[in-house]
Amino acid sequence: MKTIELPSRQKIPVLGMGTWRMGENPQHRQREIEALRHGLDLGFSLIDTAEMYGEGGAEEMVGEAIARHRSKVFLVSKVYPHNASKKGAIAACERSLKRLNTDHIDLYLLHWRSAVPLSETLEAFQTLQKAGKIRSYGVSNFDTSDMKSALKLKGGESICTNQVLYNLTRRGIELGLLPWCQQHNIPVMAYSPIEQGRLLGNAMLEAIAHEKGATAAQIAIAWILHQKNVIVI
């Protein structure tokens, strides 16, 4: 799998598996675990999750899925904004580590910005990084002005990514955020690359896929991967 080097010098795969809406229904748990393990067998070593997903259920499910593969997995998780104070983020990370059954998270993100001062969140992230609990940190759902503000704060220079909505029908970040991140060498992580499945019925996309001997999902994902310094979840 091709990788991108984060500002922290960590190498992250350009394509990974997301877990939004997983860990919510106990009846689906085994199927979800098997799906992640199948992805790992196929070479998808990047897994993205969050304490919000299934209120911790997704992290628990991921922890079980990667139990025998942790050394091969690049693990991303996110802290709830209301937990993102200095003490709150450290405690939330400890809970995530326990659910994930691991001693570190490779990349830890603030899920979105809130009333909690960003300076506190960055201070917590630096503390966690020094303690070896997280390897790198970043943000999610930040716009350009949020990113500019973040980089002015202590610890802001170590923000390694911004995870945002980006696909063929959601291209707003191209107007400012994407080029700004590219200029500052901050990789963008694109989530919902096939718009939760809604893109797959697009007639034009289906026609291109047929011409190329591929699926609509493969074309949609390949288009994002073609963009500079972008990772796809």
Q: β-strands 11-13, 3-5: how paired?
A: antiparallel
Task: Tell me how far apart the terminal alpha carbons of the chain are, to the nearest angstrom.
Answer: 14
Contact at 8 Å (CB) between 203 and 211? no
Contact at 8 Å (CB) between 104 and 79? no
3-state secondary structure the chain: CCEEECCCCCEEECEEEECCCCCCCHHHHHHHHHHHHHHHHCCCCEEECCCCHHHHHHHHHHHHHCCCCHHHCEEEEEECHHHCCHHHHHHHHHHHHHHHCCCCEEEEEECCCCCCCHHHHHHHHHHHHHCCCEEEEEEECCCHHHHHHHHCCCCHHHEEEEEEECECCECHHHHCHHHHHHHCCCCEEEECCCHHHHHHHCHHHHHHHHHHCCCHHHHHHHHHHCCCCEEEC
User: Which of 53, 80, 137, 166 does the annotation list as catalytic?
Assistant: 53
Active site residue 137: no
* 3-class SS of residue 210: helix
Active-site annotation, residues: 53
